[in-house]
Amino acid sequence: MSIGGESVVEIADAFAKGEQSAEALTQAALRRLETVGVELNAVVALDSNFALEGARKLDQARAANQVLGRLAGVPMAHKDLLYRTGRLAECGAPLRRGFVPTQTATVLSRLDSAGAIDLGRLQMAEFAMSPTGFNGHYGHPLNPWNTAHIPGGSSSGSGVAVASGCIPAALGSDTGGSIRLPSAMCGITGIKATATRVSVAGVMPLSWTLDCIGPLARTARDCARLLTVLAGADDADGYCSTQPVPDYEAGLDGDLRGMRIAHVGGYYEATLDPAVAERLAEARQVFEQRGAVFVQTDVSNMDLINAMSHVVMTVEAATLHRQWLTDSPDQYSPQVRGRMEPGLYYPATRYAEALCLREKLARKWLEEAMQDCDLALLPLMPRSVPSIAETSEGDESDIAAVITQMTHCTRGINYLGLPAMSVPCGFTAGLPVALQLVGHPFDEATLLKAADGFQLESDFHRQVPVVQFGSAGS
Amino acid sequence: MMDTKALLATVAVTLQRMPTNTEPVDTVADVVIANNRLVADAATAMMTLETVPQPPRPLVPGGGK
Convert the pLDDT of each residue in A434-470 to its tens digit. 999 999 999 999 999 999 999 999 999 999 998 876 5
Does A441 contact B19 at a Cβ distance shorter than 8 Å? no
Q: Which of A329, A345, A360 minimises the CB distance to B8? A: A345
pLDDT at B57: 53
CA closest to B51 among chain A residues: A356
Amino acid at site A182: P
pLDDT at B26: 75
What are phi and psi for residue A442, nearest 5 degrees?
A: 65, 20
More confident residue, B48 or A349: A349
pLDDT band, very low/low/confident/very high, at A3 (cuts 50, 70, 90): low
Contact residues, chain B, for A303 at CB < 8 Å: 38
Q: Which of A322, A341, A441 minimises the CB distance to B28? A: A341
Tell me the nearest-neighbour CA distance from B4 into chain A, angstroms. 11
- Give every CB contact of residue A185 below 8 A, 6+ residues apart in sequence: A143, A149, A150, A151, A152, A159, A381, A385, A431, A432, A434
Does B63 contact A195 at a Cβ distance shorter than 8 Å? yes
| For range A128-150, the mean pLDDT | 95
Q: What element of type H or E holds A289?
A: helix A274-289
CA closest to A241 among chain B residues: B64
pLDDT at B58: 54
Q: Any catalytic annotation for residue A17?
A: no
Residue B13, pLDDT > 90, answer no
Q: What element of type H or E holds A378?
A: strand A375-379
Residue A103, pLDDT > 70, answer yes
Q: Which of A194, A346, A353 minimises the CB distance to B63? A: A194
Tell me the nearest-neighbour CA distance from A420 into chain B, angstroms. 14
Does B28 contact A360 at a Cβ distance shorter than 8 Å? no
Angle between helices A358-365 and A348-356 (to 10 degrees): 40
Residue A121, pLDDT > 70, answer yes
pLDDT band, very low/low/confident/very high, at B65 (cuts 50, 70, 90): very low
Residue A233, pLDDT > 50, answer yes
pLDDT at A473: 37
pLDDT at A369: 97
| For range A105-120, the mean pLDDT | 98
Residue B50, pLDDT > 80, answer no
Angle between helices A302-327 and A358-365 (to 10 degrees): 140
Please give the model's pTM, rounded to 2 decimal places.
0.94
| For range A51-60, the mean pLDDT | 98
pLDDT at A375: 98
Q: Does A311 touch chain B (CB under 8 A)?
A: yes
pLDDT band, very low/low/confident/very high, at B51 (cuts 50, 70, 90): low
pLDDT at A326: 84
pLDDT band, very low/low/confident/very high, at A472 (cuts 50, 70, 90): very low
Q: Which of A326, A346, A363 minimises the CB distance to B36? A: A346
Residue A6, pLDDT > 90, answer yes
Does A345 contact B42 at a Cβ distance shorter than 8 Å? no
pLDDT at A338: 87
ipTM over 0.85: no
| For range A394-418, the mean pLDDT | 92
More confident residue, A247 or B49: A247
More confident residue, B54 or A237: A237
pLDDT at A470: 58
Contact residues, chain A, for B27 at CB < 8 Å: 400
Does A326 contact B32 at a Cβ distance shorter than 8 Å? no
Do A316 and A209 meet the contact criterion of CB atoms below 8 Å apart?
A: yes
Q: Which residues of B touch A (CB under 8 A)?
A: 8, 11-12, 16-19, 22, 24-25, 27-29, 31-32, 34-36, 38-40, 42-43, 46-47, 51-52, 57-65
Do A436 and A421 meet the contact criterion of CB atoms below 8 Å apart?
A: yes
Q: Any catalytic annotation for residue A57?
A: no
pLDDT at A86: 97
The sheet with strand A169-174 has its strands ordered as: A43-46, A117-122, A75-79, A169-174, A212-217, A189-192, A420-428, A431-439, A375-379, A260-264, A293-297
| For range A311-322, the mean pLDDT | 95
Does A417 contact B62 at a Cβ distance shorter than 8 Å? no
Least confident among A68-82, A256-270, A284-298, A333-347: A333-347
Q: Does A417 touch chain B (CB under 8 A)?
A: yes
Q: Does A401 touch chain B (CB under 8 A)?
A: no
| For range A309-331, the mean pLDDT | 93
Tell me the nearest-neighbour CA distance from B1 into chain A, angstroms. 19
Does A441 contact B42 at a Cβ distance shorter than 8 Å? no
Residue A81, pLDDT > 80, answer yes
Residue B7, pLDDT > 90, answer no
If one counts every other C-beta atom within 10 angstroms of the C-beta of residue A34, the result is: 14
| For range A325-344, the mean pLDDT | 89
CA closest to B29 among chain A residues: A342
Tell me the nearest-neighbour CA distance from A193 into chain B, angstroms. 12
Beta bridge partners of residue A435, listed in sequence order? A379, A423
Residue A382, pLDDT > 80, answer yes
Do A387 and A142 meet the contact criterion of CB atoms below 8 Å apart?
A: no
Residue A153, pLDDT > 90, answer yes
| % of chain A at pLDDT higher than 90 | 89
| For range A187-194, the mean pLDDT | 98
Longest dimension (CA), chain A: 63
Interface residue of B35, B36, B44 to substitute, partner A, most A CBs within 10 Å? B35
| For range A268-273, the mean pLDDT | 96
More confident residue, B32 or A207: A207
A109, A164, A178, A241: which one is catalytic? A178
Q: Any catalytic annotation for residue A79?
A: yes
pLDDT at A474: 35
Contact residues, chain A, for B43 at CB < 8 Å: 353, 356-357
- The whole-angstrom separation of Cα A218 and Cα A166 is 11
Q: Does A116 touch chain B (CB under 8 A)?
A: no
**What value does the mean pLDDT of chain A take?**
95
| % of chain A at pLDDT higher than 70 | 98
